[in-house]
């Protein structure tokens, strides 16, 4: 799996979801609008699950404090933070140099 390709795909899908949300907001209040909103919410959940699965394939750290798991972010590969809940996870430098992460 190519990280750049996955990143571009995630960005495009995120843009599409945003555009769909805006379009749904323009619909008059009706049962069709409610159905469209529910379908979009299901699609967003499925996208989050797919994103977590891709992250797992790429050996990224995931926060498992919620579902679907969120990709944890790090600027130094030692200190990781979940952008959704703020959960923090630290790895000792020895784990990194022994190939625990990003080998």
The model's pLDDT over 33-51, given as tens digits with 9 standing for 90+, comes to: 999 999 999 999 998 888 8
Q: What is the DSSP string of 10-38?
A: HHHHHHHHHHHHHHHHHSPSSHHHHHHHH
Domain spans of the chain? Answer: 1-58, 61-103
CA distances from 27 to 39, 40, 94 (A): 14, 14, 56
- Taking only the tens place, the pLDDT of each residue in 8-32 is 888 888 899 999 999 999 999 999 9
- Taking the C-alpha atoms of residue 8 and residue 1, their distance in angstroms, rounded to an integer, is 13
C-alpha 93/C-alpha 60 separation (Å) is 17
């Amino acid at each position: 799996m190519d990280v750049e390709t996955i990143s571009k795909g995630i960005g495009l899908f995120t843009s599409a979801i945003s555009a769909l949300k805006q379009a749904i907001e323009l619909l008059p209040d009706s049962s069709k609008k409610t159905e469209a909103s529910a379908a979009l919410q299901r699609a967003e959940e499925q996208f989050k699950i797919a994103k977590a699965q891709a992250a797992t394939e790429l050996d990224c750290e995931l926060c498992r404090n919620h579902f679907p798991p969120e990709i944890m972010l790090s600027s130094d590969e030692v200190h990781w933070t979940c952008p959704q809940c703020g959960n923090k996870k630290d790895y000792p430098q020895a784990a990194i140099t022994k190939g625990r992460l990003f080998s």
